[in-house]
Amino acid sequence: MIEPCRFPPDFVWGTATAALQIEGAADLDGKGPSIWDDFCRRFPERIHERSHPEVACDHYHRWAEDVGWMRRLGHSGYRFSLSWPRLLPQGRGAVNQAGLDFYDRLVDALLEQGIAPNVTLYHWDLPLALQSWENPEILEAWLEYAELCFRHFGDRVKLWSTLNEPGWSTMHGYLTGLHPPCQRDPRRALQVAHNLLWAHSRAVALYHRIWGRPEPGQGIGIALNLSPVHPASDSPQDAEAARLADGLLNRWFLEPVLLGRYPEEVLEFLRACGSAPRGHLDFAEPASQGGSAADSNPTVDWLGVNYYLPHHATADAPTTDFHLNISGDPQEASRFSIQGLFRFVQNPRGRYTDWNWEVDPDSLHEILLRIRDLRRLPVYVTENGIGLPDRLCEGQVEDSSRIAYVTGHLQAVHRAMQEGVDVRGYYMWSLMDNFSWLNGYRKRYGLLYVDRQTLQRTPKRSASWFAELARTGVLHGPEPASPS
Ligand code: NOJ
């Protein structure tokens, strides 16, 4: 028998969701359109089965039932995002009272059930009125929005994150062009990544000015998508390609939020290509904005790690080419290649999902140790989970591969904790099947199965398994294979 992993009694067990992916009510009660609402309306053919988030899981109306499910599934925490265009339909200016009321009801219901809210300000649904993170007005609008949320909810919400996966949203919004605003320009992508990181750091400073320094394990952080990049072969060229990809996709985001500065080596590389972003590149708080020596480098109180898969890089990148498998047909290969720099390839020894995402818990362990070595601080796994084409048969969803996936990743988390990483909680993606961006609704991630006709929620086998884990804090390993 493999020894069970015992998690500390105050470890946070929960799930994560995002406003656009579950709420629906896209035009209801004064909500303004987001860039994603607009994209899905204008380019339905770019989304699997022409799905859209107009109704999504109708969480806007079913929130009370959903909080009930969280209680039954043993949640002590729940990570969700606020919809900026529901609160400020024009991005700034007039506040939508119905939006505040909706989130007030949700936060209060969570607290009544002993579920600590972990609130993300921005999970990709930019108000359409603001158009883009290149807009010169965006920083002011963002800080007005952040201040509204911090002041209104901050007495009850003790865990905040600024942005969800700025790396992924910039990469697909401005480099591959697959997400809105559908741009394909590496220089603009780097500028937007910087605008996001700068906006993040200003919001961290603002939060601390309003609410002061938090208790350990509380306060303000960010959820980064982190994927280790391994060289595809032993060649020095592939090692260099992997180092570059890692610098641009991981270190470029990790080091500013943890240390308050960009990685010098990556900055040098970008300067040499004439692609370094413009603006304050050192993240120190300008004195004119109330900066003082004490908070001149606003870095996070905790770090959120969204982890799904690793990458394998080769230097052999003859073209620039991007493609995402959104069908769930394993024959449809994803491609990510930047001419002359690096290309991601499949791991011949890897295990893959139907959407060609590699399953590799060791890479989560690796990322957690890297964070420990950069800065010791509280860490939450803010997302981790597996997308499967689950089916409901006679009232049951048999998703043993989800249980195996989460077991393997939690074992990696536990190992990292024993090696000194201060992991405080695990939010599984996701509470329920939801609108999975370009993948539409076929790629299911939930503990709860959502019927697309009736929107009825049915707990999958993983749901009762997760509830028991959250209740006991004890993770049993997979049963050993019987000797043949
Ligand atoms: C990360 C994103 O934050 C979330 O919105 C998404 O649905 C999951 N990845 C799964 O793809």
Alpha-carbon span 88 to 273, nearest angstrom = 39
Least confident residue range of 119-128, 163-172, 275-284, 408-417:
275-284
CA of 436 to the centre of ligand 1 (A): 7
Mutate which of 436, 443, 450 for ligand 1 pocket (most atoms within 8 A of beta carbon): 436
Contact 337, 319 (CB under 8 A): yes
With a 6 A CB cut-off, is 165 part of the ligand 1 pocket? yes
Alpha-carbon span 367 to 347, nearest angstrom = 18
At 478, the pLDDT band (50, 70, 90 cuts) reads: confident
Question: Residue 301 has what DSSP assignment?
Answer: S
The model's pLDDT over 306-343, given as tens digits with 9 standing for 90+, comes to: 999 999 999 999 999 999 999 999 999 999 999 999 99
Residue 9 backbone phi and psi in degrees, to 5: -60, -30
| Whole-number pLDDT of residue 236 | 98
* 383 DSSP β-pair partners: 306
Q: Is the pTM of this model over 0.85?
A: yes
Contact 303, 258 (CB under 8 A): yes
Residue 379 backbone phi and psi in degrees, to 5: -125, 140
pLDDT at 479 over 70: no
Alpha-carbon span 299 to 369, nearest angstrom = 19
Residue by residue, DSSP assigns 180-196 as: TT----HHHHHHHHHHH
At 298, the pLDDT band (50, 70, 90 cuts) reads: confident
pLDDT at 146 over 70: yes
452 is written with which tokens?
């697309």
Contact 328, 356 (CB under 8 A): no
At 363, the pLDDT band (50, 70, 90 cuts) reads: very high
At 288, the pLDDT band (50, 70, 90 cuts) reads: low
With a 6 A CB cut-off, is 383 part of the ligand 1 pocket? yes
pLDDT at 294 over 50: no
Count CA within 13 A, CB hemisphere, residue 445. 25
Cα distances (angstroms) measured from residue 135 to each of 142, 332, 366: 11, 36, 37
| Whole-number pLDDT of residue 484 | 37
Residues 6 or more apart in contact with residue 337 via CB below 8 angstroms: 317, 318, 319, 320, 321, 322, 343, 344
Residue 165 designated active-site: yes
Q: Which is higher by pLDDT, 100 or 298?
A: 100
Give the mean model confidence (pLDDT) for residues 22-26. Answer: 98
Q: Pick the residue whose CA is nearest to atom 10 on ligand 1.
A: 436
Give the mean model confidence (pLDDT) for residues 282-300. Answer: 66
At 279, the pLDDT band (50, 70, 90 cuts) reads: very high
152 is written with which tokens?
């209104």
Task: Kindly report whether the peptide bond that precedes residue 400 is cis, defined as omega within 30 degrees of 0.
Answer: no
Residue 285 designated active-site: no
In the predicted model, what is the mean pLDDT of the chain? 96
| Whole-number pLDDT of residue 438 | 98
Contact 8, 424 (CB under 8 A): no
Question: Residue 54 has what DSSP assignment?
Answer: S
Residue corresponding to tokens 């959903």: 66
The model's pLDDT over 189-238, given as tens digits with 9 standing for 90+, comes to: 999 999 999 999 999 999 999 999 899 999 999 999 999 999 999 999 99
Cα Dmax for the chain: 72
As a dihedral over the C-alpha atoms of residue 205, residue 206, residue 212, residue 214, rounded to 10 degrees, the angle is -70
Q: Which is higher by pLDDT, 285 or 441?
A: 441
Q: Considering the candidates 45, 65, 165, 479, report the single residue annotated as catalytic.
A: 165
Q: Pick the residue whose CA is nearest to atom 6 on ligand 1.
A: 436
